[in-house]
C-alpha cells in the first residue's frame, strides 16, 4: 500500500516513519515533508503546500495512493477532507464541519455544553468593554483565548486583572475576535488522543506535553517543547472516565449534528488535585510533539488503525498493542522561539544520536546544498524509550547532546514530574 501524509512537522515525520515500519506499506509520500522525510527510506517528498488541495489530489491520483493522513489542523479547517472525499480518496481526518472542534473554541465550548462534557465556565466576547467587565466580575487568574487557530499563541493565562485586560487589548489588536474568556483551572494537564471512526472512539496511550518555553513550566506558551507517554496522571481509571464523560458524549453530539467524524479527537485535559477532569480544548489531529512520544511505543501497525477509522471498523479492531516501557520526546528549537528566530543554521550529529538508540524526528529542517539546515521554530523532536522514564530520560538527553546547531534551545527538564 501507499500512504500520503500531508504536513511538514515532527508529527508528520513520525507518522511516515511509523507507517513505513509496516510490511504492508511500500512507500509513503509527504506533501511537502521536511528534511527528515526527505531522507527517510521509502519516503518521498513532493513540494506541494498543505492547502493546495488540487495539487495533493493530483499527487494521490498520479501515484495511486491508497490513503491520505492529514497531519495539521489548518488544511482540515479549510475542508481538505471534504474535497478529497468528493474525489473518492480515503482520508484520515475530520471534515471541515468536524474540524470546527479545534478551529473555533466558541464552537467547541457550545458543543461541550450540549454534550455535558466537563469544562471551565466561559463566555464569548466580540467587544473589549464587555470582555473587561466580565473579567472584573470573574476575577483573576483568568484565561483569555482567541477563538480561532493561532498555532499555540492565542491563549493567555493571566495572573492578574491588569494582565487580563492587556491580553484582551493585545489579542483584539492582532485581529483575534471573538475571544473566549474562561475560568482558570489548576491541576496537571494530559493529552488524550483518541481514534474515531464516526461511531466508536478508542484512546491511544495518554501523554503529557510541556507547553511552556521555560523550565519548570514557565514563560510563554509554545506548540510544545517536549512530551512523554504513557502519562501516569491519566491513570486507567481516569482514562475510562475520559472515555465515558468526554469522548463518547462528544462523539454522540457530533453525530447528532450530522458530523461524521473520522480521525483523531484529541482532548486536552486539566486534572485537578482532587482528580476531577475538565476539557481545556479539543484538537482535530494528532498532538505534536505528543505523537512523537506515543508512536515509538505502538506495536499495532499504524495503517491498520488509520484504515479502521476511515472504513468505520474501529469497533471490530482487536485491542491496540503497545510496547512496555516509557517514552520521552525533547524538542530542540531555534533560539528565540516562540517569538522571532533565525533559520538556516547547519545541523550536525543526527546520525551519532541515532546510533545511540534514539529517534530523531525532524520538524523545521530542510536540505540545502547537501546540508541539513534549520527551517522553523521547533527543529527536532528527539525521542527515546526505556524500561522506565528515568532510563528514557537519560538516553534522550544523551541524544540531544549529540546534536548541534547554532542557537539550539531545549528544556532540560522534560518528564520532571515522572523522573
Ligand atoms: P488551549 O489551546 O486551550 O489548550 O490552551 C493552551 C494552554 O493554556 C493549555 O495547554 C494550558 O496550559 C493553558 N490553559 C488553557 N486553558 C486554561 C484554563 N482554563 N486554566 C488554566 N490553564 C489553561
Ligand atoms: N502539543 C499540543 C498540540 O499539538 O496542540
DSSP secondary structure string for all residues of 201-270: EEE---BEE--EEETTTEEEE-S-SEEEES-TTS-HHHHHHHIIIIIHHHHHHHHHTT---EEEEEEEEE
Distance CA 76, CA 58 (A): 18
Of ligand 2's listed atoms, the one at least distance from the Cα of 152 is 5
Ligand 2 atom 5 nearest Cα: 287
Q: Which of 10, 209, 280 best tests ligand 2's pocket when mutated (most atoms within 8 Å of CB)?
A: 209
d(CA 289, CA 363): 10
Q: Which atom from ligand 1 is nearest to the alpha carbon of 212?
A: 12
Whether the model clears a pTM of 0.95, i.e. scores above it, the answer is: yes
Taking the C-alpha atoms of residue 115 and residue 106, their distance in angstroms, rounded to an integer, is: 14
Q: What are phi and psi of 108, to 5 degrees?
A: -65, -40
382: CA distance to ligand 1 center in Å?
Answer: 25
- Which ligand 2 atom is at minimum distance from the Cα of 289? 1
Q: Tell me how far the alpha carbon of residue 73 lies from the centroid of ligand 1, in angstroms.
A: 18
Judge contact between 194 and 308, C-beta under 8 A. no
Q: How far apart are CA 279 and CA 185, in angstroms?
A: 10
Testing ligand 1's pocket by substitution, the residue of 103, 124, 157 carrying the most ligand atoms inside 8 A of its CB is 157
Question: Of 385, 391, 383, 387, which is closest to residue 419 (Cα–Cα)?
Answer: 391
Distance 137 CA to ligand 2 centre (A): 31
- Residue 151's pLDDT is 75
Q: Which atom of ligand 1 is nearest to the CA of 152?
A: 2
Q: Do 209 and 191 contact (CB within 8 A), yes or no?
A: yes
Angle at 131 between CA 125 and CA 134, to 5 degrees: 115
CA of 95 from ligand 2 middle (Å) equals: 19
Cis peptide before 376, with omega less than 30 degrees from 0? no
Nearest-atom number in ligand 2 for the CA of 283 is 5
Distance CA 161, CA 163 (A): 5
Supply the pLDDT for residue 209.
97
Q: CB atoms < 10 A from the CB of 403, how many? A: 22
Q: Which of 95, 98, 93 is nearest to 306 (CA)?
A: 93
CA of 16 to the centre of ligand 1 (A): 29
Distance CA(251)–CA(80), nearest Å, equals 21
Cα(389)–Cα(203) distance, integer angstroms: 21
Decide: 185 and 270 in contact? Cβ < 8 Å. yes
Integer Rg of the chain from CA: 20
Distance (Å) from CA 64 to ligand 2 centroid: 31
pLDDT per residue of the chain (419 residues) written in tens, 0 to 9: 999 999 999 999 999 999 999 999 999 999 999 999 999 999 999 999 999 999 999 999 999 999 999 999 999 999 999 999 999 999 999 999 999 999 999 999 999 999 999 999 999 999 999 999 999 999 999 999 999 998 777 899 999 999 999 999 999 999 999 999 999 999 999 999 999 999 999 999 999 999 999 999 999 889 999 999 999 999 999 999 999 999 999 999 999 999 999 999 999 999 999 999 999 999 999 999 999 999 999 999 999 999 999 999 999 999 999 999 999 999 999 999 999 999 999 999 999 999 999 999 999 999 999 999 999 999 999 999 999 999 999 999 999 999 999 999 999 999 999 99
Q: Hey, how many other C-beta atoms are within 10 angstroms of the C-beta on 412?
A: 10
Amino acid at each position: 500500500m501507499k500512504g500520503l501524509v500531508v504536513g511538514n512537522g515532527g508529527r508528520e515525520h513520525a507518522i511516515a516513519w511509523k507507517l513505513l515500519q509496516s510490511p504492508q506499506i511500500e512507500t509513503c509520500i509527504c506533501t511537502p515533508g521536511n528534511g527528515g522525510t526527505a531522507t527517510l527510506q521509502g519516503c518521498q517528498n513532493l513540494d506541494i503546500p498543505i492547502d493546495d488541495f488540487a495539487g495533493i489530489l493530483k499527487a494521490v491520483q498520479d501515484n495511486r495512493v491508497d490513503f491520505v493522513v492529514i497531519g495539521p489542523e489548518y488544511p482540515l479547517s479549510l475542508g481538505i477532507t471534504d474535497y478529497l472525499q468528493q474525489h473518492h480518496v480515503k482520508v484520515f481526518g475530520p471534515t471541515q464541519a468536524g474540524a470546527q472542534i479545534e478551529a473555533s473554541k466558541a464552537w467547541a465550548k457550545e458543543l461541550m455544553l450540549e454534550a455535558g462534557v466537563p469544562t471551565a465556565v466561559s463566555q464569548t466576547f466580540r467587544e473589549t468593554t464587555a470582555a473587561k467587565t466580565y473579567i472584573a466580575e470573574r476575577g483573576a487568574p483568568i484565561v483569555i483565548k482567541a477563538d480561532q487557530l493561532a498555532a499555540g499563541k492565542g491563549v493567555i493565562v493571566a495572573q492578574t486583572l491588569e494582565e487580563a485586560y492587556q491580553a484582551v487589548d493585545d489579542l483584539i489588536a492582532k485581529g483575534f475576535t471573538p475571544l473566549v474568556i474562561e475560568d482558570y483551572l489548576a491541576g496537571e494537564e494530559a493529552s488524550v488522543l483518541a481514534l474515531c471512526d464516526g461511531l466508536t472512539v478508542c484512546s491511544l496511550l495518554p501523554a503529557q506535553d510541556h507547553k511552556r518555553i521555560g523550565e519548570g513550566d514557565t514563560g510563554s506558551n509554545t506548540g510544545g517543547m517536549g512530551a512523554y507517554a504513557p502519562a501516569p496522571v491519566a491513570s486507567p481509571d481516569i482514562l475510562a472516565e475520559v472515555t465515558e464523560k468526554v469522548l463518547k458524549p462528544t462523539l454522540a453530539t457530533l453525530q447528532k449534528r450530522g458530523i461524521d467524524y473520522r480521525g483523531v479527537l484529541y482532548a486536552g485535559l486539566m486534572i485537578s488535585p482532587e482528580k476531577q477532569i475538565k476539557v481545556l480544548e479539543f484538537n482535530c489531529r494528532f498532538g505534536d510533539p505528543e505523537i512523537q512520544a506515543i508512536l515509538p511505543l505502538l506495536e499495532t501497525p499504524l495503517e491498520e488503525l488509520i484504515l479502521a477509522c476511515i472504513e468505520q471498523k474501529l469497533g471490530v479492531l482487536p485491542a491496540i498493542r503497545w510496547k512496555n516501557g516509557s517514552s520521552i520526546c525533547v524538542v530542540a528549537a531555534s533560539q528565540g522561539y516562540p517569538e522571532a528566530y533565525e533559520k538556516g543554521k547547519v545541523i550536525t550529529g543526527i546520525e551519532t544520536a541515532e546510533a545511540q538508540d534514539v529517534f530523531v524526528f525532524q520538524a523545521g529542517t530542510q536540505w540545502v546544498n547537501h546540508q541539513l539546515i534549520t527551517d522553523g521554530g521547533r527543529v527536532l523532536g528527539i525521542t527515546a524509550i526505556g524500561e522506565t522514564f528515568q532510563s528514557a530520560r537519560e538516553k534522550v538527553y544523551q541524544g540531544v547532546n549529540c546534536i548541534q546547531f547554532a542557537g539550539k534551545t531545549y528544556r532540560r527538564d522534560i518528564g520532571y514530574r515522572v523522573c
